[in-house]
Amino acid sequence: EPEVTQTPSHQVTQMGQEVILRCVPISNHLYFYWYRQILGQKVEFLVSFYNNEISEKSEIFDDQFSVERPDGSNFTLKIRSTKLEDSAMYFCASSEGWWSRQTDSYNEQFFGPGTRLTVL
């Protein structure tokens, strides 16, 4: 069964450093997402991406964050200058489309296993 993969599983960095989190979505999916979960808190939406541009972003997703699909398979989240409060589990997700005409239903999002980011 196809699945979303993420690397690395755990990233430790110093405050102020840049990090890039990588995701490989399911191959025929067109919509891509990043979420994060600070320890003990809710899973929060960061950004959605479609057709090589951001579709929607939350207020968390400020100028320090950027996303890119550099090739046909990878989807990356970059944090330019990490802060202590960026420490969290970051989840990538993808979906086949927004709406399936075949099933007349909203396509669910499939999530990766997450990257745990620790900022020291």
What are the residues binding another protein (CB under 8 A)?
4, 6, 31, 33, 35, 41-45, 48, 50-51, 55-56, 58, 91, 93, 95, 98-99, 105-106, 108-114
- Residue 91 φ then ψ, to 5°: -110, 135
Q: Which is nearer to another protein, 65 or 113 (CB)?
A: 113
Min. distance of Cβ 91 from another protein in angstroms? 6
Give the nearer residue to another protein in terms of CB position, either 55 or 73.
55
Q: How far is the CB of 57 from another protein (least distance, A)?
A: 9
- Residue 45 Cβ vs another protein, minimum distance, rounded to whole Å: 4
Contact indicator for 20, 8 with CB cutoff of 8 Å:
no
79 neighbors 110 (Cβ within 8 angstroms): no
CB-CB contact of 33 with 109 (8 Å)? yes
Closest to another protein by CB, 42 or 85: 42
How near is the Cβ of 81 to another protein at its closest, in Å? 25
Cβ atoms within 10 A of the Cβ of 91, count? 23
Q: How far apart are CA 70 and CA 65, in angstroms?
A: 16
